[in-house]
Amino acid sequence: MTTALFYLFSIFLLGSALFVVLNRHPVYSVVMLVFSFANLAGIYFLLEAYFIGILQVLVYAGAIMVLFLFVVMLLNVSPERPRARWVPLDRWWFGAVALVFVISLGALLVRGVGQLPSARSEVPDGFGGITQIAEALFSRYLLPFETAALLLTVALVGTVFLAKRKI
Amino acid sequence: MGSADILSTLPELVLIATALLLLVMESAAEPHRELLAATALGGLAIALVTALGYGADGLYYSGMLQVDPYARFVSALALVLAALAIMVAVPYLRRTLEERGEYYSLMLFATVGMLLMVKAQDLTMVFLGLELLSIPLYVLAGFYRHRSSSNEAGLKYLLLGAFAAGFFLFGIALLYGSTGTTSYSGMAQAINSGTELSRVLTLAGFGLLLVGFAFKVALAPFHMYAPDVYEGAPTSMSAFLSTGPKLAGFATLLKLIAVVFAGTMVHWWTAIWILAALTMTVGNLAALRQDSLKRMLAYSSVAHAGYLALAILVTNYDSGFAMLFYLTVYVLTTLAAFGIVSLLEEGEESAMPGVEACKGLARRNPWLAAAFTLALLSLAGFPPTAGFLGKFFLFNATLDAGYLWLVILAVLNSLVSVYYYLRPVVAMYMQPGKNTSALPIPRMLIPALLALAVVALGAGFIPAPLVHATASAISAIL
């Protein structure tokens, strides 16, 4: 059951991600991105990382994607249909480079995954829960947590500076 | 977390406080812009004192950071570099009427990122440090919002940099999957004792990390953005863009390889060999064809990344020492060279000074011409400059490790580079220029020129102090 669900989520995830990249219509792409985030959340649930899964839905599929949709709508996509529905794949060398990369990385992963232990180790109670995450975040990972806060401040300063019309 | 932890990050905290203060000063109703640079330099000076003097060596923040002589040396160099980059920027920003607190503030944030990268003892911190270095640089490359070339540079750097960050994160994820930890010591233990889940996953993870680093330090074929970004960015920023990320990137990569991945590097020798050979050749050959001084220096910085990659390939005490020596000389000379180019630039919109801007400079400003010549000769590696010594140490260490053909290629490349480094020199001394009035040399540029003279000539004639400093720093990790 879990395996079947995992493959279902994975196929939907990869398919919708491909759709995002290949489709020319930005609104369709954004909607498919929401769909791919939902599938990723499903995979988190299967891994029993419920908290991360909920965050994925709330933060990414919820807040961030709404922002994306707003931006796309404000950009005023022309109502007439774009010339081609799909991104043309006529630059064969781009595809060739990507293919070489995918094959080599895929081969590495397949070989690597083959060496993983097959049995799923039992996860302890409360794994991935808020308590565990909070404990890790505010003890061992305190400095990365604070640095991430600093990073967001810097990004905010930079964005305001670049985007504000008159400063 | 205790007071020892806080003390160990005192330089970073001082810099963050100064950066926030600068933002507040800028947002005042009537900002005193003339005080901004002095405040930023004061913060950097205090940070330099605390970086060198305070806190005992050891692990801090539950193993996230490590303070050791290596981290102290690279931190001090990064702080000096940032201070000089700010001094180079002050006259440029004032002339173009763009002096703003955000510029200095973002420079300080980027410096905090560099310090965290070299101190990091955990890949999480390396990644956060790298982003803290990169994000301010994206903004600063596009700082001149009314110049389309600057906008282009910022956007290009952001898009490609974000892509490279993805590779980096994927690499960390694979390494975590394989070793079950992101801390240097934990990964090293898993790799050396063979208890990692899969050697192949470890190798793939390191390969992706290498791509992320190669992008930041502009190794071919990940260098495509470098010429456009360095040319389009404000010249005072190009000076920092072509030195800061290289310093932090190479210093962190060397530590990572020496401490964690030494046992697996045998699988990567061929790849790094090709990266190094390709980078120096592409950088030098492309630099030959450039007329714009900024573009020429940009390709030259790519070529120097290729030489520095030799140290990554060998990774022993000799090559590590050579890399630190070379980096010290390279960052200070390149910074001064860009600083001089920023003077040659007219205050015009998107003015890109070409080689012809140098014509007759020896008549107009003999000292400036001499300094530029010194910087270019040191970059080309002429004896008796320190650039020559750096190349000598680096090539010697590579030769000792048995890479004869790579060293031959590197020497041939250095010979080729002499051609483009000497073109501005010939223009300065042997060709008359239209303009004969002397350029005013801003006082703020003098420390950068003095640093150039001290490191390029001083360390060339009396190398012992710098050799001792780098050697004792490198013995902390190799």
pLDDT tens profile B152-174: 999 999 999 999 999 999 999 99
Mean pLDDT of B325-349: 85
Residues in chain A closer than 8 A to B63 (CB atoms): 140
Per-residue model confidence as pLDDT tens digits over B349-377: 446 788 888 888 888 889 999 999 999 99
Domain ranges of chain A: 1-78, 129-167
How deeply is B182 buried, as exposed, middle or buried, from its count of CB atoms within 10 A (0-12, 13-18, 19+)?
Answer: buried
Mean pLDDT of the region A129-151: 90
Whether the predicted pLDDT of A111 surpasses 90: no
Cβ of A147 and B129 within 8 Å? Answer: yes
Euclidean distance between CA atoms B331 and B209, whole angstroms:
23
Average pLDDT over residues B198-221: 92
Is pLDDT above 90 for A127?
Answer: no
CB contact under 8 A, A154 and B132: yes
Q: Which helix (H) or strand (E) holds B240?
A: helix B235-241
B23 contacts A158? CB cut-off 8 A: no
Q: What is the pLDDT of residues B415-449, one digit of tens each?
A: 999 999 999 999 999 988 877 788 888 888 888 88
Angstrom distances, CA of residue A9 to CA of A44, A95, A110, B404 = 10, 26, 19, 53
User: Which residue, B215, B179, B199, B317, is CA-closest to B263?
Assistant: B199
Element (H, E) at B59: strand B58-60
Q: Residue A84 pLDDT > 70, yes or no? A: no
From chain A, pick out residues whose CB is under 8 angstroms from the CB of B154. Answer: 162
CATH among 3.40.50.2300, 3.90.650.10, 3.30.70.270, 1.20.120.1200 for A1-78: 1.20.120.1200
Q: What is the per-residue pLDDT for B351?
A: 61
Comparison of pLDDT for B209 and A74, the residue scoring more: B209
What percentage of chain A reaches a pLDDT higher than 70? 82
pLDDT of residue B32: 85
| B61 reaches A (C-beta below 8 A) | yes
Give residue B348's pLDDT: 45
3-class DSSP state of B66: strand
Contact yes or no for B200 and A111 at CB 8 A: yes
Tokens of B13: 């905290």
pLDDT at A115: 65
A-B CB pairs within 8 A amount to 80
What is the structure's pLDDT at B349?
A: 46
Model confidence pLDDT, tens digit, residues B118-151 = 999 999 999 999 999 999 999 999 999 888 899 9
DSSP state of A120: P
Over residues B239-250, mean pLDDT: 96
What is the DSSP annotation of B390-452? HHHHHHHHHHHTT-HHHHHHHHHHHHHHHHHHHHHHHHHHHS--S--SPPP--GGGHHHHHHH
Closest CA to B68 of B258, B249, B325, B307: B258
Task: Provide the pLDDT for residue A167.
Answer: 63
Which of B63, B139, B197 comes nearest A116 by C-beta? B197
Mean pLDDT rounded to a whole number for chain A: 83
Q: Are B125 and A150 an interchain contact pair (Cβ–Cβ within 8 Å)?
A: no
Q: Is the pLDDT of residue A70 over 50?
A: yes
3-state secondary structure B300-314: HHHHHHHHHHHHHHH
Six-digit token string for B55: 């806190």
For an interface test with B, the pick among A104, A115, A154, A167 (most B C-beta atoms closer than 10 Å) comes out as A154
pLDDT digits (tens, 9 = 90+) for B259-310: 999 988 899 999 999 999 999 999 999 999 998 999 999 999 999 999 999 9
Residue B225 CB burial class (10 angstroms; 0-12, 13-18, ≥19): buried
Which of A157, A159, A165, A166 best tests the B interface by mutation, with the highest count of B CBs <10 A? A157
Domain extent listing, chain B: 3-474
The residue among B48 and A29 whose pLDDT is bigger is B48
State the Cα–Cα distance between residues B427 and B424, nearest whole angstrom: 5
